[in-house]
């Protein structure tokens, strides 16, 4: 089978299309024919060495497809079932092994591309808006990278829960997408001379001087200080990613001085710790898609062999919504 491997830590050029043996499912595993694989920043972090991993390794953790074979002790799944997953190493491939507990059934009415595009970013948006800092009616919320994959989904979920959402974006096209997702106000950070001071000032102008209840920040280093300064007293900052680089160590006293703020660095694994919770969150997302209340934007698709170009587009912020690979 064909698969994309990162041969060493480095840029997109280290990605190689290789022929590898088809894996055999072990106990509790299923072999899946991959229909689409999701491209995510975490793939780039592992490829580049920001997250240390062994090399070479087959890249990717998310996708959708059909079960091709079952390992021993697998219950509740059958050959031919449509599934999606967000945590199966080696997903940039024609076939991948998925732990049966991680394989989420995909219902009729949700196609393969949407299933692959939604699960990781949708589950992330879901836990942020419903569990990390549950969004409530009447709250003001700031979402960075509002036209990105998580940003578009998170905006829709927050608006559905009754919040007023402010987003940051980098262009007029992205502003249009963010507003279509429900953002009440959009700030183009590219038009600000000093993000750290001007962004919080704009946010406070939009909230009557109060600041927002919650900031959802997947950008990291370049937005972190502005995020803290945009919060009202006792507000919460969920730092769920580091697209611009990791945030330097933070003195907890800053949270006190800024108004008894809350800061958390959540990760998806702790919010889908059981299969029951994983399936519950996924079912909420599938239901919203089928009801037409959650739109999943697929911004770009690439052939498996063009994975390096997909990474360049993602890291260069040349995409909106989700990036997919088709084996």
CATH for 320:
3.90.180.10
**pLDDT value at residue 51:** 86
Residue 129 counted as domain residue: no
**Stretch 162-175: mean pLDDT:** 96
**8 has pLDDT over 80:** yes
The parent domain of residue 233 ranges over 137-265
pLDDT in tens, 228-258: 999 999 999 999 988 788 899 999 999 999 9
Statement to judge: residues 256 and 143 lie in one domain:
yes
Statement to judge: residues 13 and 59 lie in one domain:
yes
Statement to judge: residues 154 and 221 lie in one domain:
yes
**pLDDT value at residue 198:** 97
Statement to judge: residues 86 and 6 lie in one domain:
yes
Describe the strand order of the beta sheet including 57-58 as a list of residue ranges. 15-19, 2-6, 57-58
**Stretch 18-38: mean pLDDT:** 97
**pLDDT value at residue 21:** 97
Q: How confident is the model at residue 63 (pLDDT cuts 50, 70, 90)?
A: very high
Nearest to 37 by CA among 61, 12, 13, 6: 61
Task: Give the chain's mean pLDDT.
Answer: 96
Percent of the chain's residues with pLDDT above 70 = 100
Q: What is the pTM of this model?
A: 0.90
**pLDDT value at residue 320:** 73
Cα 131 from Cα 168, distance rounded (Å): 23
Cα 215 from Cα 229, distance rounded (Å): 10
Q: Is residue 204 classed as helix, strand or coil in its secondary structure?
A: helix
Residue 289 counted as domain residue: no
Q: How confident is the model at residue 209 (pLDDT cuts 50, 70, 90)?
A: very high
Statement to judge: residues 243 and 145 lie in one domain:
yes
Q: Is residue 30 classed as helix, strand or coil in its secondary structure?
A: strand
Cα 298 from Cα 116, distance rounded (Å): 10
**pLDDT value at residue 129:** 98
**52 has pLDDT over 90:** no
- N- to C-terminal Cα separation, the chain: 10
Residue 137 has, within 13 A of its CA and on its CB side, a CA count of 0
Residue 303 counted as domain residue: yes
The residues, any chain, with a CB within 8 Å of residue 5's CB and separated by 6 or more, are 15, 16, 18, 20, 56, 57, 58, 59
The torsion of the CA quartet 283, 289, 291, 292, rounded to 10 degrees, works out to: 160
Q: How confident is the model at residue 101 (pLDDT cuts 50, 70, 90)?
A: very high
């Amino acid at each position: 089978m064909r698969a994309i491997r990162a041969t060493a830590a480095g840029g997109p050029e280290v990605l190689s299309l290789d022929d590898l043996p088809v894996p055999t499912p072990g106990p509790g595993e299923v072999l899946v024919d991959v229909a689409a694989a999701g491209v995510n920043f975490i793939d780039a972090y592992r490829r580049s060495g920001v997250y240390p991993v062994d090399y070479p390794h087959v890249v990717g953790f998310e996708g959708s497809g059909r079960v091709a074979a079952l390992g021993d002790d697998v219950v509740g799944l059958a050959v031919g079932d449509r599934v999606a997953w967000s945590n199966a190493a080696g997903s940039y491939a024609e076939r991948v092994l998925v732990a049966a507990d991680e394989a989420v059934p995909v219902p009729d009415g949700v196609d393969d591309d949407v299933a692959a595009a939604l699960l990781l970013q949708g589950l992330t948006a879901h836990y942020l808006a419903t569990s990390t800092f549950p969004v409530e009616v009447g709250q003001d919320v700031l979402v960075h990278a509002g036209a990105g994959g998580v940003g578009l989904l998170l905006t829709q979920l927050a608006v559905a829960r009754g919040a007023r959402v402010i987003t940051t974006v980098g262009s007029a096209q992205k502003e249009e997408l963010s507003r279509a997702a429900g953002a009440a106000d959009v700030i183009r950070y590219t038009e600000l001379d000093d993000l750290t001071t001007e962004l919080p000032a704009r946010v406070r102008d939009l909230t009557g001087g109060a600041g927002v209840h919650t900031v959802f920040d997947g950008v990291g280093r370049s937005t972190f200080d502005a995020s803290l300064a945009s919060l009202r007293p006792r507000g919460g900052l969920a730092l769920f990613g580091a697209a611009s680089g990791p945030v330097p160590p933070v003195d907890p006293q800053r949270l006190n001085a800024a108004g008894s703020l809350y800061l958390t660095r959540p990760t998806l694994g702790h919010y889908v710790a059981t299969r029951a919770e994983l399936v519950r969150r996924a079912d909420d997302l599938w239901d919203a898609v089928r009801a037409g209340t959650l739109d999943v934007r697929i911004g770009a698709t690439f052939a498996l062999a063009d994975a390096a170009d997909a990474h360049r587009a993602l890291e260069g912020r040349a995409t909106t919504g989700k990036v997919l690979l088709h084996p």
